[in-house]
Amino acid sequence: MKKFYLKNTLYGQFCFNPPNRLFHIGNQERGCKQSTIEELDKCSQNNLWPSVEKQIEQIQLKLTNKCNYSCIHCLENASPKNDVFLDFNLLMPLIKDFVQQNKNGNIVLTGGEPLLHPDIYQIVVKISELHLPITLYSNGAILVSDRFDDSLLKYFQHVQLSIDGFCEHINDSIRGKGAFKTIIKALAILNKKNIPTTLSCTLFEHNITDVEDNIHSFIDLYYNDNITLNFDYARPLGRGKMIAPSFEKGLEYQVRIKKILDSYLLEKEIPQLNYCGYGRALTVDSYGNTYACTHSNSFIGKYPTFQKVLKKIQQEMDFMENRAKKICKTCVLAWPCAGGCFLENRNSCDLKRKNMALLRMAYGMVGE
């Protein structure tokens, strides 16, 4: 039987990693192998909850809002009809300053479908010349096409592909006809090139039963040591507003998937249920609008200077640090919660109640 680790990335996401490749971009490996609320309290109070880090680790570039698919849950409203492309030359000053600030930073290229950008090759080469690791988020359709120049693949340290059903019928009903076969072809290409690959699945009512029914057979057929499985739930943004589950229902979906995959796990631990990306991961959309994280309330400016970015982040991070010292330091859930979204929970904390319920449901914890 294939085995892999359970690890956690951003808020609400579970990752299943091959045992020989614990691969994370930007995130630190953290774990708390406790099984009761009392033991978790000790773990949290031993300063294992993440400290506030004043360093940008990643820039996520949404190169275009154009896509060859029109997935029913797309939070970007991407589609073949869109035609906005990021002006990379206007962004280069910010990226060069980013390199000076953090020699270990990385770049994520996403969209829409980033490979549709007319200058994709030049963009990738320019980033590579700055010695920045590059991750590609793609639907795989261009990657497997005859017109794709596969010499571009040598520049990517990691590729993330989207799959939203583990049988052809369900996946294609969400993503479009032929999408499932495209992913299988893309996996074979990337595995042949030995490129670490994440398969990212977004959970909602339309596919949760399919994932439960078919994930085992999919793993048996297609899983290899280059693949990481990632599960998140649909968010109420873009077309996702129509189908996104509630916060509690989304977490319930993830717990259901985790329990199905428990038999594959080599190591079980309480993952952090949140890893706030504010100030660690910039997001630049196809219009040049720059955000301090993926949250729409974190807007900084359009093609801003790096100095403006740092100033804005510094102000908010100082507030976060003071808040964490007052609220999070004494909380039993400091470890798995890690403070929640600071932009949504600046003066109060509703995540404690929600995370407590999730911990009990997922791990059978006891205590108050």
- Please check the confidence at residue 39 and state whether its pLDDT lies above 60: no
**Location of structure tokens 């909602």:** 204
Give the three-class secondary structure for 266: coil
In terms of residues, how long is the chain?
368
Give me the mean pLDDT over the 51-68 stretch.
82
Give the three-class secondary structure for 61: strand
Q: Which of 190, 267, 202 is nearest to 237 (CA)?
A: 202
Amino acid letter for position 205 = E
Entry pTM = 0.84
Which pLDDT belongs to residue 332? 63
Give the three-class secondary structure for 299: strand
Work out whether strand 289-291 and strand 299-302 pair parallel, antiparallel, or are unpaired: antiparallel
Amino acid letter for position 259 = K
Structure tokens at 104: 């270990």
Provide the strand spans (E) within the chain.
Answer: 5-8, 14-17, 58-62, 106-110, 134-138, 158-162, 197-203, 227-233, 281-284, 289-291, 299-302
How many helices and strands (H and E) does the chain possess? 10, 11
- List the domains of the chain with CATH numbers: 5-34+51-305 (3.20.20.70)
Which pLDDT belongs to residue 310? 87
Maximum pairwise Cα distance, the chain: 59
Which pLDDT belongs to residue 158? 96
Give me the mean pLDDT over the 116-125 stretch.
96
281-291 pLDDT, tens per residue?
899 999 999 99
